[in-house]
Structure 1
Amino acid sequence: MTQAAGELRVDFVNGAVGHRLRFGGGRGQALAKAMGLRAGKTPTVVDATAGLGRDSFLLASLGAQVIMIERSEEMHALLDQGMQRAAQEGGEFGEIIGRMTLLKGDAKNLLPELSAEAILIDPMHPPRKNSALVKRELRQVREIVGTDEDAADLVRVALKNARNRVVLKWPAKADPIEGIQACSHQILGKSTRYDVFMTG
């Protein structure tokens, strides 16, 4: 199947993801720290809102077993295709994809059945007030998955089911999601923050 110009696709081999794999900074990256990856410790991770799969791929590249959940039929299909292409590359990409499992469904229903040490939640973020043009790719994702109106419910389900921690990825300057408990600590990136809720 040929790809139309500008069509959204999941690419784990080239572009930003491939670059981050080669130059990303390993376990020192904010996401890895937030998820509890450190020397001698590699938790099993559930990415409850898989999206383009980039965070899952990064965590799997650092050795974590990652279960990805995506409820959008279209997004799930894009992820599946991207994983197949990366697996066909073989070598390092094949190994990383081998640590990733993709499930289709609503994370709120699936999390209670999964025994996750660490759960990552990256809901569609509220539209930024100051950015006239959100990156095209993000706009395309938003068009497919919509807005995650139930983000607070998902966090609450995750808090009940994570053995060790829940991490909410959220814009650095955005207000906390209403209706959930305060986080244990935060790890701040340039434009993103990770709200970490310890559950263990």
Structure 2
Amino acid sequence: MTPLDVVTPPVVLGDDAQSRALADRLGLVVVETPGGDDLWLRYGEHGLELGGDRRQFGAPIRADLVGGGVAHRRQFGGGRGQLIARACGLKQGVSPEIIDATAGLGRDSAVLASLGSPVLMIERHPVVAALLLDALERAGAIEALKPLTQRLRFAQGDSSQTLSALVAASGVTPQVIHLDPMYPHQDKSALVKKEMRLFRRLVGDDVDTAQLLTQALDTATHRVVVKRPKGAPPIEGPPPSHDIVSKNSRYDLYVHRSLKPSR
């Protein structure tokens, strides 16, 4: 991922105190009406959202740890039998402490937490971090979701540079580190989901995945789990111990030691 000052920084819509405070915190400009090529942030009816030209990017996106696809996966995703849970080692008697070191919008973190694992979400892009924090605050206000949100924690920082320091500051013991880096598309004409186009326009591609993997391997006590497109090569570095493959994606597993049920 390229730094915020050389990708596409959004503008902030709205002249209320909350919007101005957000713009000040992120170093962004407040406007009344966005230009045709602008990405923008605004506080909508359901929380902070990121959008742009609908023809290119579709509807605005927001982080949601409660409803939408997260709720569907929580109810119908297959529980601990689903791919991400198997890759991260969740099984009867085993709910490892997990770091989602490329948290993004927090969907995978929310699913893992709903299955019983404590999860530290780390996100380096300040705009994505703002979306994720807004979602965490909204979810924390729902009493029925307290068991879920109490298993979710957040830290902003660059996992490829300072993962060990972020972990030390958080006080967690990272048995499993989950990575889902942005994979660069070589075919520029390929149709990509509009949401992914918007995300890629904001954050760029992750070009430091080898360094990220090295940090994760040095920090996880038991395993590192890397989500990849099914046909993509493994991240540069040591080969994975094995993988778990589905129709469209693959998890590369780097195993230090096995996860044992708690006594």
- Whether TM-score is above 0.5 comes out as yes
Residues 13-43 of structure 1 show CA distances to partners (whole Å, capped at 9, x for unaligned) of 2221111111111100111011011110111
**Structure 2 spans left out of the alignment, 5+ residues:** 1-42, 168-172, 258-263
Deviation at 1:110, TM superposition (A): 3.8
* Distance apart, 1:66 and its partner CA: 0.2
Q: Does 1:98 align with 2:150?
A: yes
Number of aligned residue pairs: 198
SS state at 1:11 partner: coil
Correspondence list, 1:84-123, <5 A: 84-91=137-144, 93-113=145-165, 114=167, 115-123=173-181
When the two chains are superposed, the root-mean-square deviation of aligned CA atoms in Å is 1.7
1:179-194 equivalent positions in 2, closer than 5 A: 180-194=237-251
TM-score, normalised via structure 2 length: 0.71
Q: What is the one-letter code of the residue matched to 2:67? A: N
How big is the shift at 1:131? 7.0
Task: Give the 3 Å change call, closer, same or farther, for CA 130–21 of structure 1 in structure 2.
Answer: farther
- Which residue of 129, 148, 169 maps to 2:206? 148
1:82 is matched by which residue type in structure 2? Answer: A
TM-score (norm 1): 0.92
The structural deviation recorded for 1:109 is 3.9
Distance 1:195 1:131 in 2: 27
Question: Of residues 212, 235, 256 in structure 2, which corresponds to 1:177?
Answer: 235
Per-residue displacement from partner, 1:69-89 (whole Å, max 9, x unpaired)? 000000000001111122223
Q: Secondary structure at the match of 2:177?
A: strand
Q: Secondary structure of 1:169's partner?
A: strand
| 2:80 aligned counterpart, secondary structure | helix
Q: Distance in 2 between matches of 1:44 and 1:128?
A: 35
| Secondary structure of 2:176 counterpart | strand
Structure 1 portions without partners, runs of 5+:
none
How high is the sequence identity, in percent, across the aligned residues? 44
d(CA) in 2 for partners of 1:130, 1:111: 32
CA radius of gyration, larger in: 2
Q: Which amino acid aligns with 1:101?
A: R
Deviation at 1:130, TM superposition (A): 8.7
Helix, strand or coil for the counterpart of 2:222? strand
1:35 paired residue among 88, 110, 121 = 88
For the residues of structure 1 that align with 2:119 and 2:189, how far apart are their CA atoms?
32
Distance 1:30 1:73 in 2: 29
Residues 1-200 of structure 1: pairs in structure 2 closer than 5 A:
1-2=43-44, 6-91=59-144, 93-113=145-165, 114=167, 115-127=173-185, 129=187, 132-178=190-236, 180-200=237-257
- Rate the CA distance shift 1:131–1:65 in 2: closer, same or farther, 3 A: farther
Question: Would the aligned equivalents of 1:72 and 1:144 in 2 still touch at CA under 8 Å?
Answer: no
What amino acid does structure 1 have at the position aligned with 2:228?
W
Task: Describe the superposition over 1:84-124 as per-residue Cα deviations: whole angstroms up to 9, x where unpaired.
Answer: 12222320x33211111110011134421323100001000
The 8 Å contact of residues 234 and 240 in structure 2, kept in 1 or not, is answered as no
For the residue of structure 1 that corresponds to 2:253, the secondary structure is strand
- Give me the whole-angstrom Cα distance separating, in 1, the residues matched to 2:181 and 2:162: 16
Asked whether the 8 Å contact 2:213–2:235 carries over to 1, the reply is no
User: What do residues 105-148 of structure 1 show as CA deviations (whole Å, max 9, x unaligned)?
Assistant: 11134421323100001000121649732111112222222211
Q: Is the 8 A contact 1:35 1:120 kept in 2?
A: yes
